[in-house]
Structures are given as C-alpha cells and as structure tokens.
Chains A and B, each alone.
Chain A
C-alpha cells in the first residue's frame, strides 16, 4: 500500500476562481496548485474561507452560477475538466470522481428509499449495463469477497449485442447494494434498503453516502467535511472505516477538513490552505515534525492536545481577511509574526524546499 509518488491522478494548476456577490467580487481561490497521487489519502486542511470547499466544487464542476474560473486547469487523466461540457462532467461524477458531503440530509433524496438511490449508483455504470461477462461474475460470487472483487476490478465496457435486461440489472444491483452496506459496517442491510434517509441517524446516513460513493468505483473520492456534523464517537467510527476501506478500493481520497488532528490520524499527505492560497504541502509526518509556514506553525500551537493540557492556549492575532479586498502581497502578512517588507507587496510562490515539502512564503 505504498504511495506511488510519481503517479498523479488529479492535478490543479494556477486555479483562480472568483465569486460575484452584491458586495463585490470575492477572490476565493488564488492560483491553487494541488496534486493527488494514486492510492493516497490527501487532506486539504484550512479554516473558514480558505477555499477548500470551493476547490472541491471546482474539481467536480459543481460551482454555482455566480462563480467564474478566471484561470487554471484541472487535469484528470491528461484532460482539463474545466473544458468539459456539463454532460461530460455528469458522467465523470457518476463513474470517476465521487463526492461525499458534510450533510447527507441535503444530499440524499428524501423521498426515495436508500435502496433505490444505492441501486441507481450501480445501475448507471456502463460496464454493468453493457458487459455480460462482468455481470456473470457478480451474480455468481457471494458477499464480502464479491463486493471487494467488484470494487477492485473495473473494466472498460464492451458492448454486447444488447444491454442487460432491466430485471437482471435490478437483481445484480440489489445484491451489490446489500454487500456494500455490509462493507461499510451497517447492520441489517436488508432493512436499510427499505428505509428513507430521515429514518436513519447521522452516522448511518454518512455511511450510506460513503457506500453510494464507493458503488461507483471511482478513481477519486472527495470527502468534504464528512465528520464535522457528527458526534466524536461516531466520527471515530467513520474515520476508522475510511482507513479500512483504503485497502478495499483502488481510489485516491481527497479529505477536506478544518481539523488538523483528523488529518494527522487519517492522511498520508496534507495541504494547508489559507484565504484562497495553498500555503504548505507536505507528508503528514514532515508537516508535524517541521512545519515551515508561519500559519501552519501558529495553527498547530492553537490546537489543544488532550494528552498535554496547557496553561495558555495560543491564538493567531487578527482574523481571516475579507476576500473581497484581500491584503496585497501575501494574504497572511497582516497576521504573520515574521512579516517582511516584501511580504506586503509581492506574492510568494509555492516552492519545494525539501523532498515533497512545499511552502508558499518569502522566508524560504
């Protein structure tokens, strides 16, 4: 399960996104660069307004009407997703890049049962619709091993003479749905398939959303603050589930969170964002051993560690800037204890300081 460092699955370059609002233009993303490697868990960490969710929405092609991508590219399998049509992006979201959001209540259709929604995730997959061979395998297999096989092996659809019949598709989808619910450790899958989202608890809904994301056998899973609305014991369960699933699926995960501790426990690499910029990129170990960017250093001091209670908690002086008129030069400079003249005027560049460790700061 080593990270194949050289294989980049998704990459953004110079991504710059603005939002038109009544009060003015919000410069939400400023030349955001990120790279997601194969089979890794990459955490995108930042506080409110840093742009982490906007980045996710840009990748998924789900930006609202008032957003404008001013510059940049989102490269997936060599193609720029920003240049794709809505129809193409829909197909990509159906089979390649899956998303799980913070509040499943708003993202699950309240009038359809879990079963219907989950089965749909299977039924839209072209490989299943057009490939007799694949379906035979699925039908003949059983349970746990079946679903893991299914998830790991994804083939290009070879159209046969006609698509698989509706009823057969229904049976296949039903079997797969039960298996995948078991995989996400939901008890009594038969019952859950018949239930509606509001009948389940928050943790269970989140697991259903994860199951729906996995069902599509995506290459990339984007998890946007999936545990923020959950209680801490349920959060622990979900994070543990993610760790277990890493082996079952051959996907890269982009984990978006405001909590550095979650990133510490779950991620291989961490990207820290502040006010629309990427300020530091490093492997989790390197970031915690030696944080380079002043913001990262200060942020780590702000986080209380239960094992070592402190007498005084640190905070960062000032507050997050208004992105309608962001500070000139480096956006962090008004709050930075190491601010220099050049920081007030010139924007820094994201530079590789050590192997795999990048910083966006004039100090380096």
Chain B
C-alpha cells in the first residue's frame, strides 16, 4: 500500500467578521471547521460539496495560500503549517494548484513562454535562457500544444487550451502533488474530457497525486479513487469512490446523488428533494450541521457535534449517528464505533 503523501488533521480556517466603526471582530466565517484527510501517493482524492462547503478554502489552506487558523498539514512528513518562508518556498515547488477560471489564472500580459519559464527561474531549476525555453517547449508538447504557441498571449487561446497552459505551468516546477480546484467548471462539456484525460495521463506518467475539488459529482466520479463529501466546513462522508456512489451512507450524500440530473428521459427518477437552501458558513447550526434539513434528524442530532463514525467498511467514514436504509427509509442508531 502506498504511503500517505498528505495528512491533514483537524484543519480549521476561520475568517473574522468585522463590524462597527471600530471594526471589531463580531464573529467568524468558519469556512473549514475541523477537517482531517489522508491522501496516498499516486491517488486522486475527490472533494465534493456545494457552495459554502469549504472545499476550495480547504484546498487553499493546505497550500497556505490562505492561512489556516488551527490544525496541521503534513506533506511528505514535513509540517506545512509551521514552515518558515524558505521552507514554504521549497514546498511550493512540490505542491501546486490549478485554478477554476482559465480566463483569470494567467497573467494577460505574459507570453506563454514567459509564463512557463518564470517558475523555473524562481526555483532555479534551469541555468540558462536557452535551457528554459527548451523545457518550456517540452512542457507544451506534454500538454498537447505546439512550439509556436509559446510566443502567444493567453487571450489568443480557448478556455480548454488555457487550462492546459495552466497545467503546463504547474508542471514547470516539477511538483509531486497538485490540487485541482474545479478545473473544468468553466469549460464546455465537449472539451472538458480533453483536460480531464490529460490530467489522468499525466498522473500515470509522472506519478502525481491529486486532490480533485468539484461540485460536479459525475466528473468527480470519473477522476477520483476516494471521495470526501463536504458540508459547511466539515467532511460528512469519506469513502472509496464506488462505495460512495453506489451506497452513500450519509443523508446529505444520498440527497446530493439524487439531485444529479440523469441524461435519460426514460429513466423514472423518484424526486428526492431537500428542503431549504444551502446555508452559509456564518450561521452554523448547533449539533450536526445538516440537522435542519435532514428528514431523519432527532434530538441527539441537535445536541452535540457529530464525530466521524466507521461506516460499512473500515475505510468508509460517516458523520452520522444513524445507519439509514434509504430504500426502506428506516434509521437505526449506529454502534459507538467512532474513529
């Protein structure tokens, strides 16, 4: 079994809310509120959730693009959370991120060649301009673009091509680990596979480890080995991909799966709808965060924080007190097997 490359324990990222003339801190937006995660080398760990779930903030906190408030992040046994400036810089060449918006993540004033060579020079991976340009050309062909694209500006490319350039740029520093933050959300469905397949190929070829963040459950299913479902800053279910999609154990996961539109008009879908809207991380409900919308909620659910229980198998974790048989609509209390 491969070793664990990324270990996140109890990560919290809170943003202060200031109000009043004196700008006092009146509360916090608890974007990430106690998340633990383990990603094995070579694996893709998916993170799904809706708006307010904290999945993007989690990704950025792991990289310290946003400073976490509490908790630890260990990358290859190095404590990222306590790293100083020099160590952090070195880590930056091993942990990369691809952003959601290909129209905004590239400096519009930089040529592609400059975009690719700048990180190389920053981390002193090349010794001459010629070597840098050569490496840039290699990277371009690695992502399926041509040498002649090097001297063009980002606005001359389509969205899918820009994402490829972003991938090439991330690869320029020779990372081991990449966080993919909704990399295809802004792309047309007919080209999203091009970028996704590229990412999969690169993973195999270069032995990369991914965390794949998305609100699109089908895409996460395609890309991931393990999937974590996030709700209001916490992970509510974490399991092997097929286990999660075939038999989700947390009510939220179940309703999430049920909400995905099916491209088949003859499929008779039973409408399973959640009431209410996705809440905001400013006003977090007491007890289980999901209880206001959960049809199975009981007094116990309102009482205190819900720990992560072990689900139907040893690597399936669920943050719910009850074992719910969704088909039969029955709920039974879980035995106290807490992780």
Name A residues whose Cβ lies closer than 8 Å to a Cβ of B: 47-48, 201-204, 231-237, 239-240, 258-262, 264-265, 284-285, 288, 298-300, 302-307, 309-310, 312-316, 319-320
> Least Cβ distance of B250 to chain A in Å?
14
Given A315-B190, A316-B190, A304 contacting B221 (CB threshold 8 A): yes
CA of A309 to CA of B273, assembled, Å = 23
0/1 string, B56-84, CB within 8 A of A gives 1: 00000000000000000000000000000
A-B CB contacts (within 8 Å), total count: 125
Name B residues whose Cβ lies closer than 8 Å to a Cβ of A: 50-51, 158-161, 188-194, 196-197, 215, 217-219, 221-222, 242, 245, 255-266, 269, 271, 273-274, 277-278, 280
A236 touches B189 (CB 8 A): no
Given A232-B217, A264-B265, A306-B218, A258 contacting B259 (CB threshold 8 A): no
A204 touches B277 (CB 8 A): yes
Residue of A nearest to B261 (CB): A261
B265 touches A306 (CB 8 A): no
15 A/B residue pairs, CB under 8 Å, sorted by A = A234-B50, A236-B261, A258-B189, A264-B261, A284-B265, A285-B265, A304-B219, A304-B221, A306-B218, A306-B260, A309-B222, A315-B190, A316-B191, A320-B158, A320-B188
> Least Cβ distance of B191 to chain A in Å?
6
A47 touches B263 (CB 8 A): no
B274 touches A260 (CB 8 A): no
A231 touches B278 (CB 8 A): yes
In the complex, what residues of B have CB within 8 A of residue A231's CB? 50-51, 215, 278
CA of A30 to CA of B161, assembled, Å = 27
A303 touches B189 (CB 8 A): yes
Residue in contact with A315 in the complex, picked from B159, B192, B261, B263, CB distance below 8 Å: B192
B50 touches A306 (CB 8 A): no
> Least Cβ distance of B24 to chain A in Å?
23
CA of A262 to CA of B222, assembled, Å = 20
A234 touches B278 (CB 8 A): yes
A258 touches B273 (CB 8 A): no
In the complex, what residues of A have CB within 8 A of residue B265's CB? 264-265, 284-285, 288
In the complex, what residues of B have CB within 8 A of residue A264's CB? 261-265
Residue of A nearest to B157 (CB): A319
Chain B interface secondary structure, helix, strand, loop or mixed? helix
B277 touches A234 (CB 8 A): yes
> Least Cβ distance of A166 to chain B in Å?
35
Given A232-B256, A233-B50, A240-B271, A319 contacting B160 (CB threshold 8 A): yes
CA of A355 to CA of B192, assembled, Å = 34
Residue of B nearest to A287 (CB): B265
In the complex, what residues of B have CB within 8 A of residue A48's CB? 159, 188
CA of A309 to CA of B245, assembled, Å = 10
Residue of B nearest to A47 (CB): B188
Residue of B nearest to A236 (CB): B259
In the complex, what residues of B have CB within 8 A of residue A259's CB? 189, 261
In the complex, what residues of A have CB within 8 A of residue B197's CB? 312-313, 315
CA of A235 to CA of B277, assembled, Å = 10
B278 touches A315 (CB 8 A): no
In the complex, what residues of A have CB within 8 A of residue B277's CB? 201-204, 234
In the complex, what residues of A have CB within 8 A of residue B259's CB? 232-233, 235-236
In the complex, what residues of A have CB within 8 A of residue B193's CB? 302, 313-315
B51 touches A305 (CB 8 A): no
In the complex, what residues of B have CB within 8 A of residue A240's CB? 271, 273
Task: Select the residue from A48, A202, A285, A300 with max chain B CB neighbours within 10 A.
Answer: A48
CA of A275 to CA of B275, assembled, Å = 38
A232 touches B161 (CB 8 A): no
B262 touches A261 (CB 8 A): yes
Residue of A nearest to B278 (CB): A231
CA of A279 to CA of B283, assembled, Å = 48
> Least Cβ distance of B41 to chain A in Å?
22
In the complex, what residues of A have CB within 8 A of residue B273's CB? 233, 236-237, 240
In the complex, what residues of A have CB within 8 A of residue B266's CB? 285, 288
CA of A316 to CA of B256, assembled, Å = 29
In the complex, what residues of B have CB within 8 A of residue A261's CB? 260-263
In the complex, what residues of A have CB within 8 A of residue B190's CB? 47, 298-299, 302, 315-316
A233 touches B261 (CB 8 A): no
> Least Cβ distance of B85 to chain A in Å?
38
> Least Cβ distance of A49 to chain B in Å?
9
Q: Assuming A236-B258, A312-B197, A320-B158, what are 20 further A-B pairs, CB within 8 angstroms?
A: A203-B277, A204-B277, A231-B51, A231-B215, A236-B259, A236-B261, A237-B273, A258-B189, A259-B189, A259-B261, A265-B262, A285-B265, A288-B263, A304-B218, A305-B218, A305-B263, A309-B221, A310-B222, A313-B196, A313-B222
Given A260-B263, A284-B265, A320-B158, A233 contacting B274 (CB threshold 8 A): yes
CA of A347 to CA of B278, assembled, Å = 47
CA of A204 to CA of B217, assembled, Å = 23
CA of A310 to CA of B245, assembled, Å = 13
> Least Cβ distance of B251 to chain A in Å?
12
B192 touches A302 (CB 8 A): yes
> Least Cβ distance of A1 to chain B in Å?
16
> Least Cβ distance of A310 to chain B in Å?
7
> Least Cβ distance of A23 to chain B in Å?
11
In the complex, what residues of A have CB within 8 A of residue B191's CB? 315-316, 319
> Least Cβ distance of A267 to chain B in Å?
8
CA of A232 to CA of B272, assembled, Å = 12
> Least Cβ distance of A171 to chain B in Å?
31
CA of A262 to CA of B264, assembled, Å = 10
> Least Cβ distance of A94 to chain B in Å?
30
Residue of A nearest to B280 (CB): A201
A307 touches B262 (CB 8 A): yes
> Least Cβ distance of A269 to chain B in Å?
11
> Least Cβ distance of B231 to chain A in Å?
11
> Least Cβ distance of A42 to chain B in Å?
14
Residue in contact with A305 in the complex, picked from B258, B262, B278, CB distance below 8 Å: B262
A306 touches B221 (CB 8 A): yes
CA of A92 to CA of B101, assembled, Å = 38
In the complex, what residues of B have CB within 8 A of residue A233's CB? 50, 255-256, 259, 273-274, 278
In the complex, what residues of A have CB within 8 A of residue B255's CB? 233
Residue of B nearest to A319 (CB): B158
Residue of B nearest to A283 (CB): B265
CA of A319 to CA of B145, assembled, Å = 14
> Least Cβ distance of A5 to chain B in Å?
18
Residue of A nearest to B257 (CB): A306
